[in-house]
């Protein structure tokens, strides 16, 4: 599996799937979630509402999928990162689950290329360095016959620098 780093806006990325850092309501919000719903159009929200009607809220660490509306990607995988509360062990396990469950879901959809934002490192205040280590570790250790490329999309300079160092780029 190839790993790439891109600095920019995930709504512009042409991978089969992009991952959204959602909240458990699945009804949208600010940050990357707001950007994805704005750029993708109302189809994404309609599908999120359908999912909610079927299964209720999305738990922290879990992931669900919708189509990508007007975005260049085919799918949006919505995962709910943990809100950082200082409990390093618990928050780390939940963040790791976000990456693992998103990758598993992607495999089931026969996704070859997938892009991740820096889940939980915005308003959920997860320490960026630790979040990046977990993200890179989970992706590197995910054995897949299906997924060929994972792109980490960093929006802010600090995350970009952290990922560049971790990935030796």
Nearer to ligand AR6, 103 or 151 (CB): 151
Helices (H), 109-156: 128-140
Among 50-58, 62-70, 99-107, 111-119, which window interacts with ligand AR6 (CB under 6 A)?
A: 111-119
Q: What is the DSSP letter of 84?
A: P
Is 155 one of the binding residues for ligand AR6 (CB under 6 A)?
Answer: yes
Cβ-count burial 77-86 (b if 16+ within 10 Å, e if not): bbbbbbebee
Q: Which of residues 30-59 bind ligand AR6 (CB under 6 A)?
A: 30-33, 35
The catalytic residue among 9, 16, 33, 157 is: 33
Total of chain residues touching ligand AR6, rule CB under 6 A? 25
Helix pair angle (128-140, 88-108), 10° resolution: 40
- In angstroms, rounded to a whole number, what is the distance separating the alpha carbons of residues 51 and 23? 14
Q: C-beta of 95: minimal distance to ligand AR6 in Å?
A: 9
Binding site for ligand AR6 (CB under 6 A): 9-11, 21-23, 29-33, 35, 81, 117-124, 153, 155-156, 159
């Amino acid at each position: 599996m190839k790993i790439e780093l891109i600095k920019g806006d995930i709504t512009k990325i042409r991978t089969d799937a992009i991952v959204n850092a959602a909240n458990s309501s699945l009804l949208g919000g600010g940050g990357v979630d707001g950007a994805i719903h704005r750029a993708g159009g109302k189809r994404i929200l309609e599908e999120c509402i359908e999912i909610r009607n079927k299964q209720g809220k999305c738990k922290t660490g879990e992931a669900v999928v919708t189509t990508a509306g007007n975005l260049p990607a085919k799918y949006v995988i919505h995962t709910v990162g943990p809100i950082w509360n200082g409990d390093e062990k618990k928050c780390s396990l939940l963040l790791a689950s976000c990456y693992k469950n998103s990758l598993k879901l992607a495999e089931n959809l026969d996704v070859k290329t997938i892009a991740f934002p820096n889940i939980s490192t915005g308003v959920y205040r997860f320490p960026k360095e630790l979040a990046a280590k977990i993200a890179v570790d989970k992706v590197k250790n995910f054995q897949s016959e299906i997924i060929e490329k994972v792109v980490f999309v960093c929006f802010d300079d600090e995350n970009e620098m952290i990922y560049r160092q971790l990935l030796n780029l």
